[in-house]
Amino acid sequence: MSDKFIHAVPNFSEGKREEVIEAVVDQLRDVEGVKLVGYFPDADFNRTVIELIGRPEPLKKALLDMTAKSIELIDMEEQSGDHPRIGAQDTIPIFPLKDITTEECREIAEEIGQAVYDQCEVPVYFSGENARTPEREKLSFIRKGQYEGLKEVAHTPERAPDIGPGALHPSAGAVIVSAGERPLVAYNVILGTDDLEIAKSIAKIVRGPSGGFTTVRAVGLKFSERNQVAVSMNMFDYDLTPLYRTFELIKNEAARYGVSVVASELVGVVPQEALVNSLEKYLQLEDFDRSQILENNLIGL
């Protein structure tokens, strides 16, 4: 059997109604060759993030079943929440996980996009590696105006769907499908202070737009349960900018305030490589072949 595995992080636009969330997520349960790693509804966002892994063919089918169910149960004319979105099944991003290339994932994302339109009659925008124009590589461009704004301009060439007519689906909006090289890693570094200003200052140093790491977005947050603050990061490329580099930068910057780093935490799932490449730097490890990790030989056994 092929040992190719894909990681998918689909997002659908319901984070409150438990029966809807469960009905959508149910499409991903007990599917041979697919594993639902976790799902994370957010009531304020009114959105659920799913972590899914699996072999390409069954994963594709599971993603289509999920999309059909989101579309059936979520009406964008009534949906509202704090997170930007353009459709019921808002995004379907996929990433290579094992023995598969980003290019193969790009092709699979094309197939998923076409199948979404063919089977559900919901128009599709391609993003990431599948973007038809440089602007569409980023979700923010595609989502400009959100569902409500996009439906007014979806007939214009600049904003029209990549598959489907120049119009959104009347209740389900559209779906954004993409392949990417690496998934986002959510990483928090917690400071030994309750001074939010310090966390905000350091976050500004760390994040790309204000002069920090191009691949990192960061905010300062209060961690009320521990009366401490944190630099909370979205790391978009753990290869270009490994975890250790942000951790050490934050430690150095915090020291300028006489503050120490008390802990860090990984939120949700993380590819093994995001851990190994940091340890490699700390231990100055040379010639470390990932197949030397015993467990990596278990996959497919």
Q: Give the up-direction half-sphere exposure of residue 108: CA atoms within 13 A in the CB hemisphere.
A: 28
Residues 6+ positions from 214 with CB-CB distance below 8 Å: 208, 240, 241
Angular region, 211: left φ>0, alpha ψ -120 to 50, beta rest: left
* Closer CB to its own copies, 227 or 283, in the complex: 283
Beta strand 228-235 with 216-223: parallel, antiparallel or unpaired?
A: antiparallel
Measured from the CB atom, the residue of 29 and 155 that comes closer to its own copies is 29
Whole-number minimum distance, CB 282 to its own copies, in Å? 5
Residue 81 and residue 70: Cα distance in Å, rounded? 16
CB nearer its own copies, residue 79 or residue 228: 228
93: Cβ–Cβ under 8 A, 6 or more apart, which residues?
8, 9, 10, 127, 128, 177, 178, 179, 180, 183
Terminal Cα-to-Cα distance of the chain (whole angstroms): 10
Tell me how far, at minimum, the Cβ of 36 lies from its own copies, in Å.
9
Active-site residue 169, yes or no?
A: no
Give yes or no for residue 30 binding its own copies (CB under 8 A): no
Task: State yes or no: residue 288 binds its own copies (CB under 8 A).
Answer: yes
The correct pick among 55, 136, 143, 151 for binding its own copies (CB under 8 A) is 55
Which listed range, 122-130, 172-180, 196-204, 276-284, lies at the site for its own copies (CB under 8 A)? 276-284
Q: Which amino acid is at 297?
A: N
User: Within 56-115, which residues bind its own copies (CB under 8 A)?
Assistant: 97-98
Q: Which stretch binds its own copies (CB under 8 A): 114-122, 133-141, 149-157, 265-273?
A: 265-273
- 266 near its own copies, rule: CB under 8 A: yes
Q: Is 244 in the site for its own copies (CB under 8 A)?
A: yes
DSSP 214: T
Taking CB under 8 A as the criterion, the residue among 53, 154, 172, 206 binding its own copies is 53
Q: How far is the CB of 124 from its own copies (least distance, A)?
A: 26
Please pick, from the candidates 16, 23, 33, 257, the single residue that binds its own copies as defined by CB under 8 A. Answer: 33
Contact range with its own copies by CB under 8 A, out of 15-23, 28-36, 130-138, 139-147: 28-36
Contact 89, 71 (CB under 8 A): yes
- Distant-in-sequence contacts of 17-22, Cβ < 8 A, 24+ apart: 20/73, 20/74, 21/48
Whether the CB-CB separation of 89 and 133 falls below 8 Å is answered with no
Contact residue for its own copies among 15, 41, 54, 113 (CB under 8 A)? 54
Give dist(CA 90, CA 48) in Å, integer. 10
Catalytic residue among 7, 83, 155, 169: 83
User: How crowded is residue 79: how many other Cβ atoms within 10 Å of its Cβ?
Assistant: 20
Are 3 and 300 within 8 A, CB to CB? yes
Residue 234 beta carbon to its own copies: minimum distance, rounded to whole angstroms: 16
Q: Which stretch binds its own copies (CB under 8 A): 15-23, 30-38, 147-155, 162-170?
A: 30-38
- Residues recognised as catalytic: 83
The footprint of its own copies (CB under 8 A) covers: 5, 7, 33-35, 37, 51, 53-55, 97-98, 190, 243-244, 247, 261-266, 268-272, 275-276, 278-279, 282-288, 291-299, 301
